[in-house]
Amino acid sequence: MHPLRRTAGLLAAAALGAGLPLLAAAPEVRTFTGGELSGLGNSHWFVTGRGSVLIDTPFLPAEVEALRSDLGRAGGLPVGAILLTGSRPERSWGVAGLTSGGAPRVWASKAAAVALRSGFHLERERWLRLGLPLSMMPKAAPVVTNTFVGSLNLGFEGFTIRLIEVPELGGGASLVVIPETGDAFVGELIWNRTHPDLAGVDLGSWKQALWGLRGMRIRRIYPGHGPSGGPELIEAQIDYLGALEEAVRPLARSGKEPSAAAVAEVRKAMVARYRGWALPGFLDRSIRTEWRRQRALLAEEVR
């Protein structure tokens, strides 16, 4: 089976289960948002009798301490489980600071665990070149204690916590679904009112994953970036990716490497269309990433 169709089917089937009704009361989810250095990434969490369940972590030590303070004030310490939706440093490197003084299980896809180990030193060098002090980074890759492949169900105080891989996004990306309530923590799959970073991600594959998410009975979406909302966030992300694809198409068809001025024109158009969206600084890199994808597709058509 084609991998994109396989994944779309996996998302729909794994998250829906056997037509599970949305009957359970949803947990009270709280959100912590990091700074611009971490792409305004969200960490979501809810309190249970066995400790808090945390989806993703902040990046900088100061952000980790701020989250610990939030958890403490809400009675959310200790952390019982950390679920990582990918291997991006700015979503996973805070694990060490949140496991000190306790021993929560840390869950991630097997691919994410491998990427965290294999890419740690290279990523650390990249952040050092960007000016982040070594003292603000962990000395070793975050430790993932439990891995899964495809999908996995975890029982937790009457809820099913379902982990589902989203291989289209790379880096061992996954999402977390509570099928009884229709809550979905989608990580990098959705950037709400935030210009996404396309580096390392194929836009066409990303849209395929979003189409698979459409088939799930989602009541509430907790995105990796930006405010939470309902299923309309799926359509908004598809709209954005489609608009970026269309905006870059003339550059790709010209056959020339886009100049800084040409990229700036596309960026200006996207900022005007999505007025008020955060992190427009990601657009230049995303435009060039999408240009390379479209050029590759055009080259395939010529063959």
Written as tens digits, the pLDDT of the chain (303 aa) is 344 344 444 454 444 443 445 545 778 999 999 999 989 999 999 998 878 999 999 999 999 999 999 999 999 988 999 999 999 999 999 998 888 667 899 999 999 999 999 999 999 999 999 999 999 989 999 999 999 999 999 987 778 999 999 999 999 999 999 999 999 999 999 999 999 999 889 999 999 999 999 989 899 999 999 999 999 999 999 999 999 999 999 999 998 899 999 999 999 999 999 999 999 999 999 999 999 999 999 988 765
Secondary structure of 259-285 in HEC code, one letter for each residue? CHHHHHHHHHHHHHHCCCCECHHHHHH
SS (H, E, C) 50-86: CCEEEECCCCCHHHHHHHHHHHHHCCCCCEEEEECCC
Q: What is the DSSP letter of 21?
A: -
Q: Please choose, from the candidates 89, 78, 82, 80, the residue with its C-alpha nearest in 3D space to the C-alpha of residue 106.
A: 82
Q: What pLDDT score does 24 carry?
A: 59
First to last CA, the chain: 24
pLDDT at 66: 96
3-231: CATH number: 3.60.15.10
Query: What number of other Cβ atoms are within 10 A of residue 195's Cβ?
Result: 22
| 60 neighbors 35 (Cβ within 8 angstroms) | yes
Rounded alpha-carbon distances, angstroms, from residue 89 to 198, 205, 298: 15, 22, 33
CB atoms within 10 A of CB 100: 9
Domain limits, CATH 3.60.15.10, in the chain:
3-231
